[in-house]
Amino acid sequence: MGVRVTSADDRADRDIGRLTAALGDATRRQVFFAVRACGGDRSKDEVAATVGIDRRLAGFHLDKLVQYGFLDADFRRAPGRSGPGAGRPAKRYRLADAEVLTALPERHYDLLATLLLRASRAGGESGDQRALERVGYEFGFEVGAAEVAAGRGAPGASLTEAMEGMVRLLSRYGFGARAEGGDSLRACACPFEELAFDDPERICGLDRAIWRGMLAAFAPEATLRVSTTRAGGDDACIATVHADGLG
């Protein structure tokens, strides 16, 4: 029997599925971030106290995070406790050495996990490109429509107003966006950058769908075309807004 070579797409599918399964639960995300925030290791009792949940529930989620490869665990005493009266070593949890996305702000990690979970429910597979882009577009439209409802934009906005609304929302979600040249958007950051470099087709597709959904909430007749991407080796992601019939 020959040895099966794992392709980059196979690895990306596995990583996306692992992320969705591991962090799709809101309590589990809190548990993960409680361990990540401490900068060291934590017992289930310490995590339970931080998150405000039962110690058994904390242990369940911690062990699931170990199972999915996000945390490592071993049995040892807390720092400063030793000798005959120190008690039995406790199971302590810390970020896995191979942990990815450790630099992401919690809200961006939470957003990615939520969108991937939605895509897995909508399309059957978390890596399905059409499901990812559909979910991304719907999310972008939702947050854009919320801006309109709050009076910070209007459907059928002018090109300038639509660009302002997009820049405001994209910057809120970690894209580091700014308007450029009247009809262009430049994003110098990406909230999902680590996965985007590993799997640019899927994650960049998700990004662009979010952008298009936001634009549709402000200017339904406008279209967006991406010319450069950070994951493709460029300094920034640049998109041009084509606004037929807009001012």
> How many whole angstroms separate alpha carbon 205 and alpha carbon 211?
10
Percent of residues, the chain, with pLDDT higher than 90: 26
Q: How high is the mean pLDDT of the chain?
A: 79
In a shared domain, residues 121 and 219 = yes
For residue 73, what are its two tokens?
Answer: 């665990």
The answer as to whether 42 is a domain residue is yes
Same domain, 138 and 223: yes
What is the number of structural domains in the chain?
2
Mean pLDDT of 120-143: 79
For residue 127, the tally of other CB atoms under 10 A from its CB is 21
Q: Could you tell me if residue 247 is inside a domain? A: no
191 in a structural domain:
yes
Question: Which CATH number goes with the domain that contains 189?
Answer: 3.30.1380.20
For residue range 140-195, list pLDDT tens digits in order.
999 999 998 888 877 777 888 888 899 999 988 888 889 887 789 999 888 877 67
Structural domain range at position 84: 11-95
Pair 78, 111 in one domain:
no
Residue 5 included in any domain: no
Query: Who wins on pLDDT, 99 or 18?
Result: 18
Question: Considering 95, 115, 134, which residue would you say is the last residue of a domain?
Answer: 95
Question: Is residue 228 in a domain?
Answer: yes
- Establish if 6 belongs to a structural domain: no
Mean pLDDT comparison of 8-17, 65-74, 133-142, 166-175, highest-scoring range? 133-142
Instruction: Supply the pLDDT for residue 104.
Output: 57
pTM beyond 0.95: the answer is: no
Give the residue from 210, 231, 197, 204 showing the smallest Cα distance to 11: 197
Residue 244's pLDDT is 63
